Structure 1
């Protein structure tokens, strides 16, 4: 069952990550620093030296050695954490993707655009059906 739609006032946040920075940790740090309560990734392009991904249905984190191009990054971020998926491609254009984990390190750059919904807050609560911390959308 889908949740009811919300509309709100939005602000874009644009920034660049540099070589050696951890992609997920920096996204979470940025949200904490600027007190973002309901953010989503609008755009992300750049590259990583290595990627730490959890694959669909898996419990283990898999490390991929790059460099790789970031061809997609999507997800939601809030005060309780983030749910982010990333797809990367190698020098032959082969693509792999999964759940973004700590340890994915920027190679040359990552140009990030986040959008925050000012009237909402994203929380993560354990869902009785999935047993995972799932997104709960609340009005501020």
Structure 2
């Protein structure tokens, strides 16, 4: 396994930046090891919803989990508001960094991640392919 630490700066879009990083580094099977930082806007899709919710206040990033690859990203985020209230859901484009985001990405060189349609769930789901 390899690890890539990155820092995203103010005004970067969190999801778009991670997708671009996967493309630039040709990441075939990546996953989030650690992530902290802050947002000034959060765009999240909550469980069992088809639409995104845009929240325009400042938040601390408590955790970010999921997979990244050139074939797509699937990430969930937990954030806290100024009162410590925690909310989370599916990370969507439009999560804008407030001051910084410090992220460590792990890479599994012996695998590739793909997103293929699953008739049972009705979604593009993770397909893990061994390269060895």
Instruction: Give the equivalent residue in structure 1 for 2:20.
Output: 29
- With structure 2 as the length reference, what TM-score do the two structures score? 0.98
Distance (Å, rounded) in 2 between the aligned partners of 1:121 and 1:110: 26
> How many angstroms does 1:66 deviate by?
1.6
Secondary structure of 1:66's partner?
Answer: coil
CA distance in 2, matches of 1:108, 1:43: 17
Aligned counterparts of 2:119 and 2:70: Cα–Cα separation in 1: 21
Q: 2: distance between equivalents of 1:86 and 1:70?
A: 7
**Residues in 1 aligned to 2:63 and 2:83: alpha-carbon distance in whole angstroms:** 17
Asked if residue 77 in structure 1 is aligned to residue 68 in structure 2, the reply is: yes
Q: 2: distance between equivalents of 1:77 and 1:130?
A: 20
Partner of 2:56: 65
Segments of 5+ residues of structure 1 without an aligned counterpart are: 1-9
| Superposition TM-score, scaled by structure 1 size | 0.92
- Using the TM superposition, give the Cα deviation of residue 79 of structure 1 relative to its aligned residue in structure 2, in angstroms: 2.0
In the aligned structure 2, how far is the partner of 1:39 from the partner of 1:25? 15
Could you say which residue in structure 1 is the equivalent of 2:86? Answer: 95
Whole-angstrom CA distance in 2 between matches of 1:132 and 1:97: 20
Local SS of the residue matching 2:16:
helix
**Counterparts of 2:92 and 2:24 in 1: how far apart (Å)?**
20
Count of residues in correspondence between the two structures:
131
- In 2, the alpha carbon distance for the partners of 1:31 and 1:124 equals 15
